[in-house]
Structure 1
Amino acid sequence: MPSYQNLPLYSVNVKTFVKLGLIESSNPTRRFLLGLILIVTYIGQLTNLFWTWNVDIGETGYNFHVLALMTHCFLRFMVIVRKDKKFERFFEGIEQWYTDIERNGDPQIVSTLQEITDKTQKLTRLSFYASAVAALAVFIYSFSFEGRRLLLTVQYPFFDVLQTPYFEFFFLIQVVWLLPTFLLIYLPFTNIFLTSLMFGELTLKDLCSKIRKIQSENEMTMLNEFKECIAYHNKIIKSENPLQITAGGLYPMTMENFQAILRISYSYFSLLQGVSQQ
């Protein structure tokens, strides 16, 4: 087992990816099953959205929201699977870096590192607890209707998912497999991203600490220390691409783009509301 799986900075998030078979896996069967269930559910949600487009504006808005969440989950799944080796090398590099700072870093930096570790562990526990409560609420919500209702509403052209035995089959798949998979992909991905941002900020503080310590009277010693700082800086900026979140790898999710999406979504919502009132 790679040592980075026990790195306290990422807590259970990396182990979750390993258990799901997304990284450090030589058996593609689990990945295939996860991807197949996500794809089948996604197709069913798109079909349901198309068939219920003019039924109820509230239901349509809810379906859009659920479809957006599933889209995020599916994209994150694809990113991890396609770049699993990069993820593994990234975790290995962070583990070595974390150990080096812990052993040789400035006492203040080491203290900050421990604070970040404790904070990320609390964040991970809180997110999983909150998601467990939300999953339970979704499960209970599906039983609040008089008729049959799945956790995630899907429809398919050749059969009715609300009829026996299809309903029991899809309900069991969604409860036992789909909902846990959704949470175990969506949450660790977010937690790892946030943790990496905090660790990146710490490395910059560590670099500043090293630069402030260059005060030797020996010019050769100062030069060597300065070269070490340059090498450390190059290590920090080893990726030449700016750190940013992209939507499907197509465009950066900046505040401007987010505002544009909100404006377009509101325009569509107003249009749909106007059509439904007519």
Structure 2
Amino acid sequence: MYFCEQLYNINLVYMKRVGSLGDPKRALFMLAMPTFCCFATIYRIYQIWHNFDEVVANFFKVSGMITITIRTFMVLSKQKKFLDFFNDIDNWYHRLRSENDEVTMKNLEEYTRKTRRASKTIFGIMIVCIFYISAIQLLTSISSTNKKYIIEVRLPFVDLYTSPYYEIISVLQALWLAPIVLLSYVSYLCVILISISFGIFLMKDLQQKLGNMHELNELEGLECIKKCIQQHVLIIKFHRDLEVLFSAGNFVDVSIFCIIPCVIIVYANMEYNLAFMITDVQLVFVVIFSTYIIFWLANSFYIEGLNIAHAAYNCNWVDRGKDFRKYIVVIMTVGQKPLELTAGGLKPVNMQFFLAIVRVSYSIFTVLQGTKKDY
């Protein structure tokens, strides 16, 4: 998977290192701490159910951990499909390279450079966030004046806020939980974004070939349109693979995004330690930004899919022979069917749906704010 290693870069390396791709035992071991914290936090939420502020703050964090855990299990259960998907992308690269199209290869190299740079930048920013979160937790555990975990946990019959439990859990959360959860989140996110953007690149490449059709004679044009149909069929398969691999993850992202207004109203009314509040705001910002980028790219994917039909219609098919017109009709007909990415197969992931979620979220925020003021 030479091209995939270049394209996905550090994200693919990380997924292999933690065992998500290739070593299930290592992946399960890495998930031990997040899984423990999930159950311990859910138990804490059950114990403090009457305290709305604490419940919302803890529920937001535990939902993130549950998301990462579910995603990892999904990757483990679909390892073969993920590896086949990466192999298909490698095959795309060899196919494009065999066509000896200098413009396409130049664009592909530029696209690959940009994705590698973006991946390294995002990973670098996340490592800085992890360092800050872990340092705050370790310093807090040393001072022991304000005992607070990154993820608040509780177990029956054991007080985890007394020594040595507090120090042990604090260190484990700082050096194990935070790096695994945040890096797994960002690596999976980058894989989604790169995969969708690569599909957009393939669609634009097909549109370019259709747009250059007027430069070809009848025989060359007929040969080119056959290759375009084959490429369009592969793009449709690429879309189906994206749906199979990432649709459920998109649904989880949408669900967590709806919790954001609750979190904001809680943080606006709670007396928080500034250092820990900065940590929580970072997590909220990551979820908001990542959700928006996924929706924006999925919307572009949908638009570029329709643009294939437009590009086919705008090529000089009227002056072509009967066989050429027959093939171009196939592309125009099939291209009018939207290539939509969905959230769990329920709703299309596009900017209209994103705006609808924002409106609903704002309504929730308004209701909660009024309730808090009355209270």
TM-score range, shorter chain: 0.7 to 0.9
Match of 1:175, as an amino acid? A
In structure 2, the CA distance between the partners of 1:177 and 1:84, relative to structure 1 (3 Å rule), is same
Q: Confirm or deny: 8 A CA contact 2:199 2:238 kept in the other structure.
A: no
Match of 2:14, as an amino acid? T
**Aligned equivalent of 1:167:** 166
In structure 2, the CA distance between the partners of 1:3 and 1:114, relative to structure 1 (3 Å rule), is closer
Q: Measure, in 2, the Cα distance between the counterparts of 1:45 and 1:268.
A: 26
Q: What is the RMSD computed on CA atoms of the aligned residues?
A: 2.8
1:258 pairs with 2:357: yes
Q: Which runs of 4+ in 1 moved over 6 A?
A: none
In structure 2, the CA distance between the partners of 1:69 and 1:271, relative to structure 1 (3 Å rule), is farther
Match of 1:155, as an amino acid? R
Q: Measure, in 2, the Cα distance between the counterparts of 1:124 and 1:204.
A: 22
The answer to which structure, 1 or 2, has the higher relative contact order (CA under 8 A, 6+ apart) is 1
**Aligned equivalent of 1:66:** 61
Q: Confirm or deny: 8 A CA contact 2:44 2:153 kept in the other structure.
A: yes
In structure 2, the CA distance between the partners of 1:266 and 1:51, relative to structure 1 (3 Å rule), is farther
Q: Measure, in 2, the Cα distance between the counterparts of 1:183 and 1:66.
A: 11
Q: Measure, in 2, the Cα distance between the counterparts of 1:50 and 1:91.
A: 42
In structure 2, the CA distance between the partners of 1:3 and 1:111, relative to structure 1 (3 Å rule), is closer
In structure 2, the CA distance between the partners of 1:216 and 1:22, relative to structure 1 (3 Å rule), is same
Q: Confirm or deny: 8 A CA contact 1:4 1:92 kept in the other structure.
A: no
User: Which residue among 31, 34, 47 is the counterpart of 2:30?
Assistant: 34
Q: 175-184 or 207-216: which moved more? A: 207-216
Q: Measure, in 1, the Cα distance between the counterparts of 2:21 and 2:208.
A: 35
Q: Measure, in 2, the Cα distance between the counterparts of 1:76 and 1:187.
A: 12
Higher normalized helix content (fraction of residues) = 2
In structure 2, the CA distance between the partners of 1:90 and 1:261, relative to structure 1 (3 Å rule), is farther
Q: What SS is found at the alignment partner of 2:7?
A: coil
Q: Confirm or deny: 8 A CA contact 1:109 1:206 kept in the other structure.
A: yes
Task: State the TM-score, normalized to the length of structure 2.
Answer: 0.63
User: Which residue among 11, 14, 17 is the counterpart of 1:16?
Assistant: 14
Q: What SS is found at the alignment partner of 1:140?
A: helix
Q: 256-265 or 180-189: which moved more? A: 256-265
**Aligned equivalent of 2:43:** 47
Q: Confirm or deny: 8 A CA contact 1:24 1:88 kept in the other structure.
A: no
Matches within 5 A, 1:100-249: 100-102=95-97, 104-142=99-137, 143-144=139-140, 146-214=145-213, 215-219=215-219, 221-239=220-238, 241=240, 245=247, 246-248=250-252, 249=344
Q: Measure, in 2, the Cα distance between the counterparts of 1:85 and 1:152.
A: 33
Q: What SS is found at the alignment partner of 1:269?
A: helix
Deviation at 1:231, TM superposition (A): 0.6
Identity of aligned residues (%): 22
1:89 pairs with 2:89: no
Q: Confirm or deny: 8 A CA contact 2:9 2:119 kept in the other structure.
A: yes
Q: 127-136 or 97-106: which moved more? A: 97-106
Q: What SS is found at the alignment partner of 1:147?
A: coil
Q: Measure, in 1, the Cα distance between the counterparts of 2:207 and 2:27.
A: 42
Task: State the TM-score, normalized to the length of structure 1.
Answer: 0.83
| Cα deviations by residue, 1:161-199 (Å, 9 ceiling, x for unpaired) | 122332233223222322121122111111111111221
**Aligned equivalent of 1:269:** 368
In structure 2, the CA distance between the partners of 1:232 and 1:273, relative to structure 1 (3 Å rule), is same
Q: Measure, in 2, the Cα distance between the counterparts of 1:37 and 1:104.
A: 49
Q: What SS is found at the alignment partner of 1:158?
A: coil
| Cα deviations by residue, 1:37-77 (Å, 9 ceiling, x for unpaired) | 322211112222233344472x4443233223223322321
Tell me the matched-pair count. 270
Deviation at 1:14, TM superposition (A): 0.7
Q: What SS is found at the alignment partner of 2:153?
A: coil
Gaps of 5+ in 2: 253-343
Q: Confirm or deny: 8 A CA contact 1:37 1:178 kept in the other structure.
A: yes
Q: What SS is found at the alignment partner of 1:8?
A: helix
Q: What SS is found at the alignment partner of 2:31?
A: helix
